[in-house]
Amino acid sequence: MKMTEAQFVLIREQLIRLKANGGFYADKLRDVDVARIQSQEDFETLPFTWKGDLREAYPLGLQAVPDEDIVRIHSSSGTTGTPVIIPYTAQDVEDWAEMFKRCYETAGVTKLDRIHVTPGYGLWTAGIGFQNGAERLGAMVIPMGPGNTDKQLRMMMDLRSTVLCATSSYALLLAEEIAKRGIGGQICLKKGIIGSERWGEKMRHRIASELGVKLYDIYGLTEIYGPGIGISCDYDCGMHMWDDYVFFEVVDPKTGKVLPDGQVGELVITTLRKQGAPLIRYRTHDLTRALPGDCPCGRPYPRIDTILGRTDDMVKVKGVNIFPSQIEEMLATVKGASSEYQLMIDHMNGRDICTLLVEANAEANKYLLEAEIGEAFKQKIGITVVVKPVDIGELPRSEKKSTRVFDNRY
């Protein structure tokens, strides 16, 4: 993504300030002469910031302003080990609400809407982010938080909620419950704003059709404000990112090299205005790509694709990055193939060999399927694989997220 002049000016001022003030970035950039950062190319030589760096700064090592300027902290859930604490100034809280208001507006939400907020409140950034943005917009917030399905549905009916804010899994649970109870006629929802995680087209379609709503993907992470730094529009072609607050790059997760627009890699974000805990080139581990060209909606904000997965799910074969959602997408276009597959990567006689096991639907001709999938894989993902169709039920099922890619090379 090309850095704009305005972004460059903000980043440069920020670098100079951070270096002068001491603390986290003065330390991290001690070998960098920030006065010599004169272009985007120079900026791309700056070191990345990793989640591990943020953990090491626990509890308040990231704080970049005096104590009297901090009004709140949030913390990332920290599935492993030490959590990350992000301090916010009053201006940060305000900027976040402003971005979130813009998200609602992009989704066509107005002050006449009633916004049902089911993400959690507390240390996590989700619930309060949805709430502050909605209040700034002037809509009525129903601050439910998660859980207690009976109460959720009752409030949804009695208060005539029109917008549901939820994770995809919770939205699906509510949709199924509404269908099961046969109360769809009493639900007034028109739109769903769904926290961006990787979710398949099938799930999206089920939520949208069972709830009778139009869905929007909202993006964000605790380290960078929280949800609300970008959202999809009516055209469903990626998410607009608020580039007056964040600068984003997409890099090769293995080499860190910045990738051209359109190529899939890891999203890296630099905050432009954040005061409490600014971040420079933060590695999000989210896989996406910058979408070239303009959106039909006419908004000037650049877009990234919906999140395609996490870098941890990715493998590199013959110089090509492969991740599970790409294979799922490819298989969805092949008629005789089910969604179940396994990809095996082996190293034999000095070469990487990929074998794709795919469950074939009962009526499919396995011989033709083999050729068709091989062709589709080559075309969409860019490498040659050995395709082995198997019968439905032959591949293992798991209640949890099952492993589909087996890298046997090391």
Pairing type for strands 246-251 and 265-271 reads antiparallel
**What's the number of CA atoms in the CB half-sphere (13 Å) around residue 388?**
11
Give me the least distance between CB of 240 and Zn ion, in Å please. 6
**3 state SS for the chain:** CCCCHHHHHHHHHHHHHHHHHCCHHHHHCCCCCHHHCCCHHHHCCCCCECHHHHHHCCCCCCCCCCHHHEEEEEECCCCCCCCCEEEEEHHHHHHHHHHHHHHHHHCCCCCCCEEEECCCCCCCCHHHHHHHHHHHHCCEEEECCCCCHHHHHHHHHHCCCCEEEECHHHHHHHHHHHHHHCCHHHCCCCEEEEECCCCCHHHHHHHHHHHCCEEEEEEEECCEEEEEEEEECCCCCCEEECCCCEEEEEECCCCCCECCCCCCEEEEEEECCCCCCCCCCEEEEEEECEECCCCCCCCCCCEECCCCEEHHHCEEECCEEECHHHHHHHHHCCCCEEEEEEEEEEEECCEEEEEEEEEECCCCCHHHHHHHHHHHHHHHCCCCCEEEEEECCCCCCCCCCCCCEEECCC
Using rule CB under 5 A, residue 108 touches Zn ion: no
Using rule CB under 5 A, residue 214 touches Zn ion: no
Q: Tell me the C-alpha distance between 187 and 165, whole Å.
A: 15
Using rule CB under 5 A, residue 295 touches Zn ion: yes
User: Which residue number, 233 or 343, has a Cβ lying nearer to Zn ion?
Assistant: 233
Fill in the amino acid letter for 92. Answer: D
| Residues 272 and 9: beta-carbon distance below 8 Å | no
Give me the least distance between CB of 295 and Zn ion, in Å please. 3
Give me the least distance between CB of 297 and Zn ion, in Å please. 3
Query: Total residues at the site for Zn ion (CB under 5 A)?
Result: 5
Give me the least distance between CB of 36 and Zn ion, in Å please. 37
User: Which residue number, 299 or 366, has a Cβ lying nearer to Zn ion?
Assistant: 299
* Binding to Zn ion, residues 18-77 (CB under 5 A): none
User: Which residue number, 215 or 330, has a Cβ lying nearer to Zn ion?
Assistant: 215
Segment near Zn ion (CB under 5 A), from 136-144, 183-191, 229-237, 323-331?
A: 229-237
| Residues 100 and 128: beta-carbon distance below 8 Å | no
User: Which residue number, 41 or 294, has a Cβ lying nearer to Zn ion?
Assistant: 294
Segment near Zn ion (CB under 5 A), from 85-93, 114-122, 288-296, 330-338?
A: 288-296
User: And the tokens for 42?
Assistant: 């120079």
User: Which residue number, 160 or 214, has a Cβ lying nearer to Zn ion?
Assistant: 214
Give me the least distance between CB of 300 and Zn ion, in Å please. 10
Give me the least distance between CB of 128 and Zn ion, in Å please. 27
Segment near Zn ion (CB under 5 A), from 30-38, 134-142, 227-235, 247-255?
A: 227-235
Give me the least distance between CB of 236 and Zn ion, in Å please. 9
Segment near Zn ion (CB under 5 A), from 26-34, 44-52, 160-168, 293-301?
A: 293-301
User: Which residue number, 50 or 235, has a Cβ lying nearer to Zn ion?
Assistant: 235
Applying CB under 5 A, which of residues 97, 233, 268, 269 lies at the interface with Zn ion? 233
Using rule CB under 5 A, residue 103 touches Zn ion: no
Give me the least distance between CB of 302 and Zn ion, in Å please. 10
Segment near Zn ion (CB under 5 A), from 48-56, 130-138, 291-299, 336-344?
A: 291-299
User: Which residue number, 107 or 308, has a Cβ lying nearer to Zn ion?
Assistant: 107
Using rule CB under 5 A, residue 297 touches Zn ion: yes
Task: Compose the 342-381 pattern: x for residues touching Zn ion by CB under 5 A, - for all others.
Answer: ----------------------------------------
Give me the least distance between CB of 242 and Zn ion, in Å please. 13
Question: Where do contacts with Zn ion occur on this chain (CB under 5 A)?
Answer: 233, 235, 295, 297, 299
